[in-house]
Structure 1
Amino acid sequence: MQTPPYITPEALSTFIRTALAEDIGDGDHSTLASIPADAHNRAHLLVKDAGVLAGVELAHHIFREVDPELRVQNILTDGARVQHGDVAFIVEGRSRSILTAERLVLNCMQRMSGIATHTAYLTSLLVGTKTRLLDTRKTTPNFRMCEKWAVLIGGGVNHRYGLFDMIMLKDNHVDYAGGIRQAIEATHQYLAQTGRQLEIEVETRNLSEVQQVLEVGGVNRIMLDNMGPTQLREAVALVAGRFPLEASGGITEETLAEVAASGVDYISVGALTYSVKSLDLSLKAF
């Protein structure tokens, strides 16, 4: 699987070093006190749950940041379907380094695997439709990079990464601007003045607002927020393919297929990243 563009060496190093500093402080004293400096050992990443594995590539970076001489042998890779008892990889080298890296590796991989697992499940509910599953900005502060990466591993699609790479005119933007037309026109003026080229998406709350967007134009996508199946079908008919449509708001695994059947192009689900159950993983000496 191709690494997404936001996973840069600089971003990875900053994240890992900050996370390690939070955990280690002035030293991993449990390890320093009990393990000889010259001790070498190995451990394997044991899967204790069923799901989709994510974070293996990140684990390599973490181990390398802690100790460049640690050696990791992959048995499984990101995106693999796993069951209880599977072994994802083996790490070998200085015992102290393995122990110091252990918790960060597990924290990242457990959450990423939980996100990938839920994403894969919801994506399976869309089979037979044209609809793609999107994530949102409802992510854990300073962990967005890993959470969005996990969505990709699970078969979902990343929406905008942050506030900087796309214009999203949501309900509060529209209300503060004075309406749909005012918000879109002001956005075009801003982009012209700043020389930026950013896609524009507008959130709509009813068919009247959808119609207003169609009258103004100049956008790349329309979001249909908290609309029921009947309204969604009417919106799809009204737009008639002129703009991609994204359904959002209160969509659950029970309603996902029905929403997709309305003909929308995308469904965004914040629960992909904010309310998932982590996969049970353990790093065990052997």
Structure 2
Amino acid sequence: MLNKLMIKRMIEEALIEDMNYGDITTDSLLDESIMGEAIITAKETGVIAGLPVAEATFKILDEKIEFIAIVSDGNNVSKGDDIAIIKGSLKNIIKAERTALNLLQRMSGIATKAHKYAEIVKDYPVRIVDTRKTTPGLRSLEKYAVKVGGCSNHRYNLSDEVMIKDNHIKAVGGISEALEKCRKAIPHTTKIEIEVETLEQLKEAIAGGADIVLLDNMDTNTMKEAVEINQRRVILEASGNITEERLKEIAAIGIDVISVGALTHTVKAMDISLNLK
């Protein structure tokens, strides 16, 4: 779900960034009484995500603008398909255009990639999740787009769960020490995830009471051994060097979760345009 208050703040900041003292070109050429209509069109095939955000962008600038969605978030579209119609003051439509498209294109690019990844492992009981490798300030939008595309979310931020990483372990002195300190400090309702790099560390993490173990940068054969060692005692998450080509082979060995930073940090924005009728 999108948080409307968070969306409003993000959009306002984006609009201010784009025209802190107005739009010198559009303000010089048009006044708000000139009405018209524009169409948002897909220029390539993909999965749409972010229509409510695009609509909010236009309406924050001008609440009288009418936004008519032709498709819905999660729909597949082809090149040339119309996505939405916008009616109202041409001046304000043009001023909000770039911010609305930037967000819609970015989110649709993420949803398209997530859909592709989800399809690859659809026959396996595995969950593909995102990471915190998101664009600063846009995390909630990008994680929403991941879900629209058919994948799942990992933690939203550092407050969501205990996740003990390699630098934590080095700083504290070891896996057992880190697990013990966290378990004493946190509520009983909070899960603990810990990152391991070897099978010996995995055994130590299971014995130490971890709820989730992240297998960091392991090859597929080593992860297969980890699944056999684990015997479903903890949730196993594969992470690091997860390419599109490896997804199915990792899913097939019985890993529970595959986290993929590329869902958000190396995404090509979907090509979408806005043109006046």
Q: TM-score range by the shorter chain?
A: over 0.9
Q: Does 1:271 align with 2:248?
A: no
The runs of 5 or more residues in structure 2 that have no matched partner are: none
1:206 equivalent among 176, 187, 198: 198
Quick one: distance in 1 between partners of 2:169 and 2:75? 43
For residues 69 and 152 of structure 1, the distance between their equivalents in structure 2, rounded to whole angstroms, comes to 31
2:71 counterpart of 1:79: no
SS of residue in 1 equivalent to 2:244: coil
How far apart are the structure 1 equivalents of 2:73 and 2:272? 14
1:97 Cα deviation from its structure 2 partner: 1.2
Distance in 1 (CA, whole Å) between partners of 2:10 and 2:211 is: 32
Q: How big is the shift at 1:9? A: 2.3
- State the one-letter code of the partner of 2:167: N
Count of aligned positions? 277
2:18 is the counterpart of 1:23: yes
2: CA distance, partners of 1:18 / 1:60? 16
1:51 aligned to which of 36, 41, 46: 46
1:199 deviation in Å?
2.0
Counterpart-to-counterpart distance in 2, 1:197 and 1:126: 31
Match of 1:258 among 249, 252, 256: 249
| Aligned-partner Cα distance in 2 for 1:29–1:172 | 49
Matched letter for residue 92 of structure 2: S
Question: What's the counterpart of residue 133 of structure 1?
Answer: 128
1:173-192 aligned within 5 A = 173-191=168-186
Q: Distance in 2 between matches of 1:207 and 1:140?
A: 33
1:151-230 matches, within 5 Å, as 151-191=146-186, 195=187, 197-217=189-209, 219-230=210-221
In 1, the alpha carbon distance for the partners of 2:145 and 2:252 equals: 26
Q: Return the offset for 1:36.
A: 2.5
Residue 272 of structure 1, CA deviation: 0.6
TM-score by length of 1: 0.94
Q: Percent identity?
A: 40
Give 1:54's aligned amino acid: A
Match of 1:245 in 2: 236
CA-atom RMSD in angstroms: 1.1
TM-score, normalising length: structure 2: 0.97
1:282 correspondence with 2:277:
no
- Most deviating of 57-66 and 266-275: 57-66
